[in-house]
Structure formats: structure tokens, C-alpha cells
Amino acid sequence: MISTALEEGLISCHACSLVANQDSRRCDRCGSILHSRKPTSLGSTWAYLLTAAGLYIPAMLLPVSTVNTFGFSETSTLMGSVITFAQSDAIPVAVVIFVASIVVPIFKILGLGYLLVSVQRGSKQGLLQRAKLYRFIEFVGRWSMVDVFVVALLVSLVQLGVFASIEPGPGIIAFAGVVVLTIFASNAFDPRLIWDAPDDGE
């Protein structure tokens, strides 16, 4: 069995990674406050995650863009734009919007929710798989700005001539909230908690 730094009475600095004794309060090198695990990691991750999940609903239901043509205005949701692009044979654009804006956020929310529940239950199942899942969520998180970029693209791509104008709808604010909050949530989660599952005579 590999022992953890926590069991060995060691603690590493969040800012500069210097290893210190567990009884030190501040890092000898950079002066940061030391803690073995991110304090309130589970609570903060839940808070960000549930808010993100709540905002996902208006992000999907509210229009992300309004197209005005000769006084006639038409609103479109994210899923609506995916369908519009698919129907006008712009399949790659439809796929990018579908994956970046609909699949990735829900994957991040469900993945982090699963990690939180399994850590809270002290589960010892699939520790390595869960560590890899967290790494994958972090990796996907770096590309979250693609989601926002996609919507900006969406607004600028649709060209309906001189007499048309496109305005962002309220859905885009909820959507940007989802993106930012899922980044905060994966940042607040301390993956070392996965390995803290109690040893129950295994």
C-alpha cells in the first residue's frame, strides 16, 4: 500500500509545492498558508456545480440570439441553431456547436457530481478511473472558452444581408454562467480526496 503525504505527516504548499511538516502553518519558502487538502473543497464544489446545473436549464431554453429582418424578429435557442445549421448542410458547424455547447457542459456537471458523491460515500471503487476522469474534466475545462467562442461565431456567421441585425439573447448570459461556474467547480474540487477513502480491511 502506498502511503500518502497526509499519513506521513507531510504537507505540500499549494503555491510553490515545497514539502513541509504538517505542524507548519505557513510555507517556509513563499509564506502561503498551508493546508493538506483544499479547505471546504466539497462544499464549494457542490455550490458551484448546483448553480451551474440550475443555469444550464435557462441556457438551453432561452434564446441565445434574436435575428431582426425588416421588423420581423426570430429568436433561436442553442439546440435551435444546431438544427438550423444541420438543415442548411453546415454539418461540421452543427457538430461543433452541439458538442461544445450542449454535450461538454452536461458532461462536466455529471462527471463532477459523480466524483463528489463517490468521495462523500468514501467509495474505494475505481480510484484510478476517477482520478483519470478528473484529469479529463480539467482538460476539457481548458477548452470551455470554445463554447463562448462558438456562440460569438454563431452570431457573426449568420449573415442575412444589410437589413438584418443579430442580437445576443438572454440565454447567452446563462450559458456564460454555466461555463464559468463549471470551471470554478472543477478548480474547487481537490482530487486528492479521491485517495482519502478509508481502508476498511481490504
Q: State in angstroms the smallest separation of the CB of 17 from Zn ion.
A: 7
Cα dist. 9→21, 29, 191 in Å? 6, 18, 19
Distance separating alpha carbons of residues 153 and 82, to the nearest angstrom: 13
Stretch that binds Zn ion, among 22-30, 169-177, 179-187, 191-199 (CB under 5 A): 22-30
Stretch that binds Zn ion, among 4-12, 21-29, 94-102, 181-189 (CB under 5 A): 21-29
The residue (of 34 and 112) whose beta carbon lies closer to Zn ion is 34
Q: State in angstroms the smallest separation of the CB of 98 from Zn ion.
A: 43
Judged by CB under 5 A, does residue 33 bind Zn ion?
no
Judged by CB under 5 A, does residue 16 bind Zn ion?
yes
Cα dist. 38→7, 44, 45, 188, 191 in Å? 16, 10, 11, 8, 10
50 class by beta-carbon count within 10 Å (0-12 exposed, 13-18 middle, 19+ buried): middle
Judged by CB under 5 A, does residue 15 bind Zn ion?
yes
How many of the other CB atoms lie within 10 Å of CB of 190? 21
Q: Which residues pair with 69 in a beta bridge?
A: 72, 164
Judged by CB under 5 A, does residue 13 bind Zn ion?
yes
Stretch that binds Zn ion, among 12-20, 35-43, 139-147, 155-163 (CB under 5 A): 12-20
Interaction site with Zn ion (CB under 5 A): 13, 15-16, 18, 27, 29-30, 32
